[in-house]
């Protein structure tokens, strides 16, 4: 009799484990399905973006620093006209002006695959060297990908999940070697804009950028236009 | 051995034929076993004279040039935003390539801490001044503030942070300014994909490093086949691929030849069978086919014992003389089927066959004196093949079962004995010589290696396209050799200075441009250690204090502080490899150097004439330049050209000695003269050049033509019919369909060979069978 009970209990335990595994697999699948749906909704909005500007608060947590480093700034993004023009020469045909206002005024401009850094004012640009340009391209790609969003491309490069279907947030894990081990993207409720980007490095260092005062497809301020319309950067 | 001797030998072999067959089979088996262990050299090295060490050094050095072993695979697409798909294809291809053939060559990025570890070795006076300035309190404060500011930037991630930790004072420029010179043109990989990605993101470059010698055609072919298979599987319909590399030449040649042989061999076999069915109609055909196989096996086995390594190209060309070897057997076959007993036929047929053999052999004996190993091997192979072919044709074949059956239908067993009419023959020879001389002036000779390669223009075009896409530029390479590394480096240093003096606007780069001299090295390390002793502790304190002030953790600058603490190890070039400069090191100091010599490479933007160097330096340097190699090859062939008329002269003298009659000697030389005239006329009309492959086919065409001339002349003079017409037809037609159809090949070398054989044999048979009898008259008339 005792052995029958033991067998019964074992079977019960196995069944429970199986059910739990199945539930976990289903949840993971659901999470990926929700993420895919979310991506497609975001793509609908992002394809319409021509200009984008916003202010941001950036918080960096690094093992090098004894305390988090917080910076404030703004950015202006200008996309080229139609897709043909945009992809004519450089895939990253979008122009970006990224500026810090606090604690120090500095930033960079990226345009037509070329980059330049500046201190004080964008007037004082110094072109990035080859390696600097490549690094800049790589980092910016992660940021700009959310503007020129291509769900298929992202899905081929990242394992994407939605941890909570009630929160419009995606977690991305690169499928191959990358500067970051994880990316988190929080969207607005209507999926029309990105509210927060978080990049996590493999050593645990992270940078979180929260955006506010986001303006879509509105004329860019003059100081942004001036720099983004120049043919070259850093001259 | 006289006429009676051949009959006696025939009887002896006939009596012991079983023993002879057993011996032949055993010997064949032994030869085949020896051939299996034959070592082949598929490179062009044997085409360079033994005594020209300079040329041989250049060819050998082509293998040590790191770039020569690289295979570039450019994967592209018309649409954008497919960089990751392209990368996935590159990954899959890299996985599929057999590990024993090649491995992906990734560009390593310098590793911050290891690079900074090189600082003591480059710590010259200027660097000391730099550090003294940078270590002032206000500058340290400024540097740490800048580091803090940079950290705030969103772009400062991963390696950028490592650099801040390892080099808070910005000292790396002292090292990188020295070591980056050679990397200006390097194609840097994308930090995310690991592969170089073009600016428009439509191209991804996979670079494979071949693990064998560039002269290893078999391995190159296997690599290219594996690459093709993999690309067929992984490449999406909208993707394209461009493969560029020196190995491709070898692989494409092998592939085109394989395709040509596959295409042509079927037609050839069909024609071959038709000819044998229509003209031979005998079970003895089996022996006719076996004889060249046996001759080739024995020749190869003997050569394997004589030469440690055999040139594959030379043997390939030598295979064409198998047609001449078969010729002896064919003549014997038809002569024996004419109705007379072998005892009567052998004394009639053997002398002209011997004469033909001696004639052909004499030409090849002259070539044995060539200074070029490949030519000597070709001559040796031809001599052995012809010798075995001839010996078997006059000894063993007559006793082979069914060889002389069935009897041929013959109209006349005898005919009137005929001798050439002097004026007719003289006119004909003069006419042909005149035509030949006239056409010779129109002839273009092109023995450049380019004529031996398939799809050369396409490959060149693709190479230029790749250079354009990736901004590569061609550099001229020079190899400096020394007994020791120190000597080679010192020589390279002197050589670079001499180059710069000769061509001031030419950029010259070599390892010595990056490395301090041994004396500088000692001084630099001493300088560093002195500085550390005097200021190290103070500098450490200042950095820690400034770091704390700007919010850095206590361990933030540990990598740099460790450098200040650690003792300096003895400098070794491997330190550069550890710091991520392995590619730089390999570019200038090849690892796969032959012999015990140490080689250092120099690169120049434009060609530098090394003949202007002082003799002491010139003996240690050689240019790796395809152009100069080609001109050197041409020069060597020019020097060897005198052997051709000598070979001809020897052949003519032999003809005359054999016939002891100027008319018969001239008559017998008419078919080869007709063949030469026809080949030259075709070349003049079509504008084709006489290439190396064409030249290799010449001995076969002329050998066959000379054979036929001699046999017909003997036939006419003897007045005894020995089936020579049908033998000539069979021999010419089988060769024409076997080798002449190569004129349809795609591979330029095979095509050139086939064209020469086709046009040479096209006229040779009619000349032998139709023209020669018409230049003769019955013996009574000629004696008037």
Instruction: Read off the pLDDT of residues B96-115 as tens digits, 9 standing for 90 and up.
Output: 999 999 988 876 677 888 88
CA distance B282 to B402: 8
Whether chain A has a CB inside 8 Å of the CB on B78: the answer is no
Contacts of B553 in chain A (CB under 8 A): 63-66
Q: How many CB atoms lie within 10 A of CB B447?
A: 23
Entry field: residues in chain A = 235
Report, as an integer, the average pLDDT of B371-386: 85
pLDDT for res A58: 94
Q: To the nearest 10°, the Cα dihedral for B193, B194, B197, B201?
A: 0
Which candidate from A150, A179, A205 shows the least CB-CB separation from B192? A179
Burial pattern B382-411, b for ≥16 Cβ within 10 A else e, equals bbbbbbbbbebbbbbbbbbeebbeeebeee
The verdict on a CB contact (< 8 Å) between B190 and A134 is yes
**CB-based contact B551 A71, cutoff 8 Å:** no
Residue B135 DSSP one-character state: T
Least confident of A199-203, B79-83, B280-284, B379-383: B79-83
Instruction: Label residue A196 by pLDDT band (50, 70, 90).
Output: very high
**What number is the average pLDDT over the span B586-608?**
74
Q: State yes or no: pLDDT of B1 exceeds 60.
A: no
Listed range (A111-115, B122-126, B737-741) with the worst mean pLDDT: A111-115
Do B413-466+625-784 and B1-37+282-410 fall under one CATH topology?
yes
pLDDT above 80: residue B640: no
Of B151, B152, B154, which to mutate for an interface test with A (greatest number of A Cβ within 10 Å)?
Answer: B154
- Cβ A179–B85 below 8 Å, yes or no? no
Alpha helices in B660-742 (DSSP H): 662-668, 670-686, 692-718, 724-738
Q: How far is B183 from chain A (nearest CA, A)?
A: 11
CB-based contact, B262 to chain A, within 8 Å: no
Answer whether residue B321 shows pLDDT above 50: yes
pLDDT tens readout for residues B462-485? 888 888 888 777 778 888 888 888
CA-based nearest residue to B544, from B529, B564, B525: B564
Burial of B4 (0-12, 13-18, 19+ CB in 10 A): exposed
* Least confident range of A16-20, B125-129, B337-341: A16-20
Domain positions in chain B are 1-37+282-410, 112-181+470-622, 413-466+625-784
In this prediction, what percent of chain B has a pLDDT beyond 90?
A: 17
Supply the pLDDT for residue A88: 43
**Cα distance from B498 to chain A (closest Cα, Å)?**
32
Mutation target vs B (from A139, A152, A172, A196; most B CBs, 10 A cutoff) = A139
- The answer to whether the CB atoms of A138 and B191 lie below 8 A apart is yes
List of chain B residues whose C-beta atoms are within 8 Å of the C-beta of residue A111: none
CB atoms closer than 10 angstroms to residue B745: 22
Chain A residue with the nearest C-alpha to that of B146: A104
Q: Which residue has the higher pLDDT, B680 or A21?
A: B680
CB contact under 8 A, A58 and B152: yes
For A153, list phi and psi in degrees, rounded to 5.
Answer: -65, -45
**Per-residue pLDDT for B541 more than 80?**
yes
Q: What is the mean pLDDT of chain A?
A: 77
Domain B1-37+282-410, second-level architecture: Up-down Bundle (1.20)
In tens, the pLDDT along A26-74 reads 655 677 788 888 888 888 887 788 888 999 999 999 888 888 889 999 9
- What residue of A is the nearest CA neighbor of B158? A179
Cβ burial, residue B327 (10 Å; 0-12/13-18/19+): buried
| Closest CA–CA distance from residue B614 to any residue of chain A (Å) | 40
> Using a CB-CB distance cutoff of 8 angstroms, which residues of chain A are in contact with residue B551?
65-67, 69
- Give A16 to chain B, closest Cα distance, Å: 40
For an interface test with B, which of A91, A107, A182 has the most B Cβ atoms less than 10 Å from its Cβ?
A91
Q: CA triplet A120, A124, A129: central angle to 5 degrees?
A: 115
Residue B109: list chain A partners with CB under 8 A: 131
User: In this structure, which CATH number among 2.50.20.10, 3.40.50.1100, 3.90.79.10, 3.40.47.10 belongs to the domain A2-229?
Assistant: 2.50.20.10
pLDDT, average across residues B208-226: 86
Q: Is the pLDDT of residue B183 over 70?
A: no
Q: What are phi and psi of A212, to 5 degrees?
A: -145, 170
- Chain B residues close to A71, C-beta within 8 Å: 152
Residue the block writes with tokens 């594996």: B226
Tell me if B188 and A135 make a contact (CB, 8 A cut-off).
no
Query: Span B498-508, mean pLDDT?
Result: 80
B724 pLDDT tier (thresholds 50, 70, 90): confident
**Residue A103 burial (CB count, 10 A):** 13
Q: What are the sequence ranges of the domains in chain A?
A: 2-229
Kindly determine whether residue B551 and residue A131, on different chains, have CB atoms separated by under 8 Å.
no
> How far, in Å, CA of B673 to CA of B439, rounded?
13
A179 to B161: CB separation less than 8 angstroms, yes or no: no
Residue B544 has pLDDT above 50, yes or no: yes
The pLDDT assigned to A14 comes to: 63
Q: How far apart are alpha carbons B60 and B214 in whole angstroms?
A: 10
pLDDT in tens, A83-100: 444 444 444 567 888 889
- CB–CB contact A91 B85 (8 Å): no
Is the pLDDT at A210 greater than 90? The verdict is: yes
CB–CB of B190 and A138 under 8 A? yes
pLDDT tens, position by position, B662-713: 888 999 989 999 998 999 899 989 888 888 778 877 877 888 888 889 989 9
Which residue is it, tokens 């894990």?
Answer: A173
Dist. CA A87–CA B49, nearest whole Å: 56
pLDDT digit string, tens, across residues B232-261: 999 988 899 999 988 888 788 878 877 887
Q: Do A153 and B81 touch (CB under 8 A)?
A: yes
Q: Do B87 and A153 touch (CB under 8 A)?
A: no
The tokens for A164 are 């909570």
A69, A91, A139 ranked by CB distance to B157: nearest: A139
Residue B26 has pLDDT above 90, yes or no: yes
Which of B49-58, B499-508, B656-665 is the least confident region?
B49-58
How large is the average pLDDT for residues B740-758? 85
DSSP label of B376: H
Reply yes or no on whether the pLDDT at B291 is more than 50. yes
| Contact residues on chain A for B202, CB-CB shorter than 8 A | 91
SS3 at position B232: helix
Q: What is the mean pLDDT of chain B?
A: 83
Taking residues B767-774, report their average pLDDT: 91
Taking the Cβ of residue B84 and every Cβ of chain A, the question of whether any pair is shorter than 8 Å is answered with yes
Lowest mean pLDDT segment, chosen from B47-51, B139-143, B376-380, B762-766: B47-51
- Partnered with residue A75 across adjacent β-strands are A54, A98
Nearest to B61 by CA among B490, B732, B599: B599
Q: Is B545 in CB contact (< 8 Å) with chain A?
A: no
For the record, the structure tokens of B166 come out as 């390892």
Which residue in the set A69, A136, A178 is minimally distant from B152, CB to CB? A69
Alpha-carbon dihedral B408, B411, B417, B421, rounded to 10 degrees: -100
Query: Which of chain A's residues have a Cβ under 8 Å away from the Cβ of B151?
Result: 60, 62, 64-65, 69
> How far is the alpha carbon of B566 from chain A, nearest alpha carbon, in Å?
22
Span A117-122, mean pLDDT?
80
Cβ within 8 Å, pair A179-B80 = no
Contact of B556 with chain A, judged by CB distance below 8 Å, is answered with: yes
Range with the lowest mean pLDDT among A16-20, A119-123, B258-262, B631-635? A16-20
- Cβ-in-10-Å burial (0-12, 13-18, 19+) of B660 comes to exposed
Which residues, listed in sequence order, are joined to residue B103 by a DSSP beta bridge?
A: B209
Q: Nearest-CA neighbor of A80 among A105, A50, A52?
A: A50
Q: Bigger pLDDT: B542 or B500?
A: B542
Res A124: pLDDT: 77
Per-residue pLDDT band for B191 (boundaries 50, 70, 90) equals low
Of B84, B157, B202, the CB nearest to A157: B84
- Domain B413-466+625-784 sits in CATH at 1.20.1640.10
Q: Do B190 and A153 touch (CB under 8 A)?
A: no
HEC readout, A74-137: EEEEECCCCHHHHCCCCCCCCEEEEEEEECCCEEEEEECCEEEEEECCCCCEEECCHHHHHHHH
Is the Cβ–Cβ distance between A131 and A118 less than 8 Å?
no
């Amino acid at each position: 009799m005792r052995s029958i009970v033991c067998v019964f209990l074992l079977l019960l335990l196995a069944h429970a484990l199986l059910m739990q595994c199945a539930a976990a697999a289903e949840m993971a699948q659901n999470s990926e399905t929700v993420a895919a749906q979310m991506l497609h909704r975001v793509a609908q909005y992002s394809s319409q973006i021509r200009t984008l500007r916003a202010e941001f608060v950036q918080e960096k947590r690094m093992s090098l620093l004894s305390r988090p480093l917080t910076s404030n700034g703004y950015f202006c993004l200008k996309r080229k006209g139609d897709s043909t023009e945009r992809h004519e020469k450089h895939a990253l045909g979008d122009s970006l002006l990224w500026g810090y206002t606090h604690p120090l005024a500095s930033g960079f401009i990226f345009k037509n695959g070329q980059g330049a850094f500046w201190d004080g004012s964008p007037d004082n640009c110094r072109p990035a060297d080859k390696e600097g340009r490549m690094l800049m391209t790589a980092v910016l790609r992660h940021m700009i990908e959310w503007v020129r969003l291509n769900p298929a491309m992202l899905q081929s490069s990242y394992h994407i999940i939605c941890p909570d279907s009630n929160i419009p947030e995606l977690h991305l894990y690169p499928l191959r070697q990358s500067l970051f081990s994880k990316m988190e993207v929080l969207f607005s409720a209507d999926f029309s804009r990105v509210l927060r980007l978080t990049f996590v490095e493999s050593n645990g260092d992270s940078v979180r950028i929260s955006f506010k005062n986001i303006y879509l497809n509105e004329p860019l301020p003059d100081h942004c236009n001036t720099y983004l319309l120049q043919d070259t950067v850093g001259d | 051995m006289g006429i009676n001797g051949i009959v006696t030998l025939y009887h002896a072999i006939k009596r012991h034929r079983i023993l002879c067959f057993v011996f032949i089979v055993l010997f064949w088996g032994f030869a085949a076993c020896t051939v299996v262990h034959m070592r082949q050299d598929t490179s062009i090295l044997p085409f360079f004279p033994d005594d020209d060490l300079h040329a041989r050094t250049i060819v050998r050095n082509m293998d040590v040039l790191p770039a020569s072993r690289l295979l570039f695979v450019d994967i592209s697409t018309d649409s954008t935003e497919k960089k990751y798909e392209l990368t996935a294809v590159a990954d899959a291809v890299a996985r599929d390539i057999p590990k024993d053939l090649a491995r992906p060559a990734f560009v390593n990025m310098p590793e911050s801490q290891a690079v900074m570890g090189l600082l003591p070795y480059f710590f010259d006076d200027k660097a000391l001044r730099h550090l003294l300035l940078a270590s002032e309190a206000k500058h340290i404060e400024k540097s740490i503030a800048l580091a803090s500011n940079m950290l705030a930037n969103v772009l400062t991630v991963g390696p950028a942070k490592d650099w801040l930790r390892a080099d808070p004072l910005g000292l790396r420029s002292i090292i990188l300014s020295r070591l980056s010179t050679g990397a200006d043109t390097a194609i840097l990989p994308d930090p995310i994909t690991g592969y170089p990605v073009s600016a428009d993101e439509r191209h991804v470059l996979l670079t494979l490093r071949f693990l064998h010698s560039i002269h290893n055609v078999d391995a190159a072919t296997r690599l290219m086949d594996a690459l093709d298979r993999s690309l067929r599987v992984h490449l999406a319909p909208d993707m394209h691929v461009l493969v560029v590399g020196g190995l491709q030449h070898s692989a494409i040649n092998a592939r085109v030849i394989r395709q040509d042989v596959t295409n042509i061999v079927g037609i050839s076999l069909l024609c071959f069978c038709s000819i044998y069915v229509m003209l031979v109609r005998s079970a003895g055909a089996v022996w006719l086919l076996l004889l060249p196989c046996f001759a080739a096996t024995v020749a190869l086995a003997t050569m394997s014992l004589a030469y440690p390594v055999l040139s594959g190209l030379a043997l390939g060309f030598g295979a064409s003389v198998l047609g001449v070897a078969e010729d002896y057997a064919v003549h014997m076959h038809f002569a024996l089927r004419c109705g007379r007993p072998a005892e009567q036929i052998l004394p009639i047929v053997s002398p002209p066959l011997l004469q033909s053999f001696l004639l052909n052999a004499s030409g090849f004996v002259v070539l044995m004196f060539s200074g070029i190993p490949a030519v000597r091997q070709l001559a040796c192979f031809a001599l052995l093949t012809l010798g075995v072919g001839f010996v078997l044709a006059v000894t063993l074949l007559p006793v082979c079962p069914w060889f002389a059956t069935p009897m041929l239908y013959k109209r006349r067993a005898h005919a009137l004995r005929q001798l050439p009419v002097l004026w007719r023959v003289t006119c004909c020879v003069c006419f042909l010589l005149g035509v030949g001389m006239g056409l010779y002036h129109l002839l273009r000779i092109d023995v450049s290696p380019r004529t031996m390669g398939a799809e050369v223009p396409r490959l060149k075009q693709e190479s230029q396209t790749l250079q354009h896409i990736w901004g590569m530029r061609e550099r001229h390479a020079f190899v400096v050799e020394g007994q020791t590394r120190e000597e080679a480096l010192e020589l390279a240093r002197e050589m670079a200075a001499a180059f710069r003096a000769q061509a001031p606007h030419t950029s010259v780069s070599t390892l010595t441009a990056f490395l301090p001299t041994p004396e500088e090295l000692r001084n630099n390390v001493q300088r560093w250690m002195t500085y550390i002793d005097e200021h190290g502790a103070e500098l450490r304190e200042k950095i820690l204090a400034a770091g704390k002030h700007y919010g850095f953790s206590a361990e933030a600058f540990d990598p740099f502080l460790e450098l200040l603490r650690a003792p300096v190890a003895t400098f070794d070039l491997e330190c550069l490899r550890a710091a991520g400069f392995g590619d730089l090191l390999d570019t200038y100091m090849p690892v796969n150097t032959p012999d015990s010599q140490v080689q250092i490479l120099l690169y120049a933007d434009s060609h530098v004439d090394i003949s202007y160097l002082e003799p002491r330096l010139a003996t240690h340097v050689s240019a790796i330049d395809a152009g100069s190699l080609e001109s050197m090859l041409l020069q060597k062939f020019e020097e060897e050209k005198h052997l051709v008329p000598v070979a001809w002269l020897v052949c003519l003298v032999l003809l005359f000695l054999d016939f002891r009659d100027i008319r018969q000697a001239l008559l017998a030389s008419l078919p080869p003269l007709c063949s030469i005239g026809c080949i030259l006329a075709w070349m003049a009309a079509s504008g084709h050049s006489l290439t190396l492959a064409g030249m290799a086919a010449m001995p076969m065409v002329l050998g066959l033509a000379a054979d036929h001339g001699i046999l017909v002349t003997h036939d006419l003079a003897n007045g005894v019919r020995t089936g020579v017409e049908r033998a000539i037809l069979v021999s010419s037609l089988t060769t024409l369909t076997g080798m002449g159809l190569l004129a349809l090949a795609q591979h330029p070398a095979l095509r050139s060979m086939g064209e020469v054989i086709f046009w040479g044999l096209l006229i040779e048979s009619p000349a032998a069978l139709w023209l020669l009898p018409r230049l003769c008259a019955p013996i009574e008339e000629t004696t008037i």
